[in-house]
Chain A
């Protein structure tokens, strides 16, 4: 009888320790998860800033200015357009 009690006591102690350990691990994982989510939000912010930057650089007026002034391009004159097929 005393032997059985001892075994049960040991089992209870082990279970209790395991519960504490897994709870701790769950919290650690959760913190990691939170950090990843924060990283996701930061990346989203960065993405929106990059989109803004891209559309600023690709602004049509800027492209036209560079094409005209820097690359000395101009729209083709009527006689110089050749249509090569139907879309």
Chain B
């Protein structure tokens, strides 16, 4: 059946051809626009969309790097970082019931009021407690409180505590070195956090590595020259001496004469680097590096060595020290006892100010200055320690004769304990000085900077051995089984330009004399007990530490192992 749809004659009219063509063109244009747009989005300007898409499933995660460990020469841990957690909160998001707040405060070992005060702050972010143990943090997480979050951090621990605090130093809460080796070698110890881009699935699991943006750089371990055993020996004997002599402060340095390594360095008063709540300036001072003192008689061997070196004196040249007083210009210097005629060796043994002054005055100021300078006095050692000082050595041009004389026995010149210890290396070695090293030295230099000739060094060495023999100033420095050498110092302290009735007792020495291995320098500041002489206060510490160190290191003895009256009492401890 045929249906007629239209009876209208109007519809029977043929349409103009352009109309259908126009519709066709418009439709084609529409398609072309869509195709162009999609080409544009897909092909040319696709970065924005790709980024949007990636942000739906890609994540950048941080890879944390740990700070390097600090080890002693035998690999014992002196400082190590372990992860801890910090608890932080978004105050706006936290709605704690009083019971929950009490529970949280109890877990964090803090006051509820303090907790509420922190949470009431008008901030977007507050730390509630930093650096708590991972176990504690897990218990906090188990409470499942809204708005309370955790963050992983590292905390530095120092197992040796106050024994090594000045040398090792410590880091701040942001894990950067603030004192000691932690600061000096910060660049080496610090690690660098890395990051990588990953794809995570719906459950938060990483399913694909996209790229590593920054490789994490782990902090490097540092192996120090310190021997933890020797350090403990040095620290405990120094502490005992400072307590017994009611001294204000003290310092001790142990050096290896063969390599220039610092085997131990301790100062008192000290502090516990793991708990620095109440820390005063006096405790923080790394005295061996930052405090200068007038060394007194410990300087005498340098003047004597110079006089021998220049050929002006021989070890047996006679010097008149009678009547125990010597007037130079308007000033008079004196000896504790009048000695009469002394040889150069006896001048050192008896520690005669007059004898050594006469030697000094026979030389030009410039000669003496040059010797002091090359022995390392007057300028810092540049070991990278914070606050390291160089002491005082005035230019020789304006030395007056009296100053030249007093300088020869260690007044009018100031040094640090570590400088003094290093300078004695010239006598312990063949007249040369090695640079000091805080880190372990595996290939020691065979020869250093020459200060005196080898012959002079050997002669001074035997003079210094006479100091600890009967008739010397420090028989208490003797050790059974080893020949030791050293020099005492007892210097008045300068206070406001005048010498006060306060003393610095010191002793610097080395052993065994036949082939010196160790140098120990001891300084006790303001001993206020019954005794204040270096031979009574500092020398026993030297003997105890040196004996312990030589035994620890297994150094071959060079003297018979027989009990010494004076040492038997010193070695046998309470």
Could you say which of B179-187, B202-210, B371-379, B489-497 contacts chain A? B202-210
Once A31-B206, A79-B562 are accepted as A-B contacts, the answer to whether A48 and B556 lie under 8 Å apart by CB is no
For B72, the closest partner residue in chain A by CB is A55
B236 with A48: CB separation less than 8 A? no
B207 with A55: CB separation less than 8 A? no
CA distance A30 to B161 in the complex (A): 44
A48 with B80: CB separation less than 8 A? yes
Residues of B close to A60: CB separation below 8 A: 160, 163, 228-229, 232
B163 with A27: CB separation less than 8 A? no
B568 with A77: CB separation less than 8 A? yes
Question: Does A81 lie at the interface of the complex (its beta carbon under 8 Å from any beta carbon of B)?
Answer: yes
A77 with B232: CB separation less than 8 A? no
Residues of B close to A55: CB separation below 8 A: 76-77, 80, 159-160
B206 with A81: CB separation less than 8 A? no
Once A60-B229, A87-B554 are accepted as A-B contacts, the answer to whether A74 and B572 lie under 8 Å apart by CB is yes
Residues of A close to B228: CB separation below 8 A: 60
Q: Which of A62-85 contact B (CB under 8 A)?
A: 64, 74-75, 77-79, 81-83
Q: Which of B467-510 contact A (CB under 8 A)?
A: 480-481
Q: Which of B239-283 contact A (CB under 8 A)?
A: none
CB distance from B133 to the nearest CB of A (A): 10
Once A81-B561, A87-B554 are accepted as A-B contacts, the answer to whether A61 and B205 lie under 8 Å apart by CB is no
CA distance A60 to B555 in the complex (A): 21
Interface residues on B, range: 35 or more
A81 with B232: CB separation less than 8 A? no
Question: Does A59 lie at the interface of the complex (its beta carbon under 8 Å from any beta carbon of B)?
Answer: yes
For B205, the closest partner residue in chain A by CB is A31
CA distance A48 to B206 in the complex (A): 26
B571 with A78: CB separation less than 8 A? yes
Query: Is chain A's binding surface mostly helix, strand, loop or mixed?
Result: helix
CA distance A83 to B558 in the complex (A): 11
CA distance A64 to B228 in the complex (A): 13
Once A49-B82, A83-B481, A83-B561 are accepted as A-B contacts, the answer to whether A77 and B205 lie under 8 Å apart by CB is no
Question: Does B564 lie at the interface of the complex (its beta carbon under 8 Å from any beta carbon of A)?
Answer: yes
Question: Does B83 lie at the interface of the complex (its beta carbon under 8 Å from any beta carbon of A)?
Answer: yes
Question: Does A45 lie at the interface of the complex (its beta carbon under 8 Å from any beta carbon of B)?
Answer: yes
Question: Does A36 lie at the interface of the complex (its beta carbon under 8 Å from any beta carbon of B)?
Answer: no
Residues of B close to A30: CB separation below 8 A: 206-209
CA distance A34 to B205 in the complex (A): 9
For A53, the closest partner residue in chain B by CB is B159
Question: Does B567 lie at the interface of the complex (its beta carbon under 8 Å from any beta carbon of A)?
Answer: yes
Once A77-B563, A79-B562, A87-B554 are accepted as A-B contacts, the answer to whether A45 and B82 lie under 8 Å apart by CB is yes
Residues of B close to A34: CB separation below 8 A: 205-206
A77 with B571: CB separation less than 8 A? yes
Residues of A close to B209: CB separation below 8 A: 30
CA distance A35 to B159 in the complex (A): 32
Other than the given A77-B568, A81-B481, 17 more pairs (CB < 8 A) read A30-B209, A48-B81, A51-B69, A52-B80, A52-B82, A55-B80, A59-B159, A64-B236, A74-B572, A74-B573, A75-B571, A78-B561, A79-B561, A79-B563, A83-B561, A87-B554, A87-B556
Closest 6 CB pairs of A and B: A78-B480, A55-B159, A60-B232, A78-B563, A79-B563, A27-B207
